[in-house]
Amino acid sequence: MIILEALIYILPSYVANSCATLSLSIPILKKWTTPIDFGNSWNSKRILGDGKTFRGLIFGTLIGTIFGFLQYFLAQRIEFDNISFYNNASIEEILLISFLLSFGALLGDIVKSFIKRRFGIKRGRPWPPFDQTDFLIGGIIFSAIVYFPGWSIVLILFIITPIIHFLTNITAYLLKLKSVWW
């Protein structure tokens, strides 16, 4: 099923993005709040804002990459029909694409915050549809260095990601892992 194939491909990006947010609630990590822009401003607006930390970037990239590695390793064993990439990839390729999907997702999120600040939108305020798709755009573009899943999968992902993002955000909000519901 193409939706399953699309999800398996993008899951490391989802995990990286969720773990960046989750890093805020993890006891040993939450005290490390150094922002990536080191608190600097440009034209009297923050470059990125306090919502983009090294903690989130590093933790998200790490967990997303590990997750992707385990998942593709499993997918290789199971031999999904459509997911030929995972069946034929070497361990190095699997590690690389997991890293690119994870790091790219968080870089997409960072670029979004940069643009958001230039438009004068405050950290944490909603900016649809970019808050919902920044990590998707970043993950797809970065991983395309080694693998592009095809336009039909990209289209499916742009349709389902905002829905999944909305549902997980509501859940995270209800679990008090996130302070706003968007």
Residues at the site binding ligand CTP, with contacts judged by CB under 6 A? 20-21, 23-24, 49, 51-53, 55-57, 106, 109, 113, 116, 123-124
- Beta carbon of residue 156, minimum distance to ligand CTP (angstroms, whole number): 23
- Beta carbon of residue 115, minimum distance to ligand CTP (angstroms, whole number): 10
With a CB cutoff of 8 Å and minimum separation 6, the contacts of 139 are 10, 12, 13, 16, 100, 101, 102, 104, 105, 108
Q: Residue 79 or 122: which CB sits closer to ligand CTP?
A: 122
- Beta carbon of residue 122, minimum distance to ligand CTP (angstroms, whole number): 7
Q: Residue 45 or 123: which CB sits closer to ligand CTP?
A: 123
| 63 backbone dihedrals φ, ψ, rounded to 5° | -70, -40
With a CB cutoff of 8 Å and minimum separation 6, the contacts of 138 are 13, 104, 105, 106, 107, 108, 109, 111
Q: Residue 24 or 141: which CB sits closer to ligand CTP?
A: 24
Rounded Cα gap, residues 68 and 27, in angstroms? 24
Which residue minimizes CB distance to ligand CTP?
56
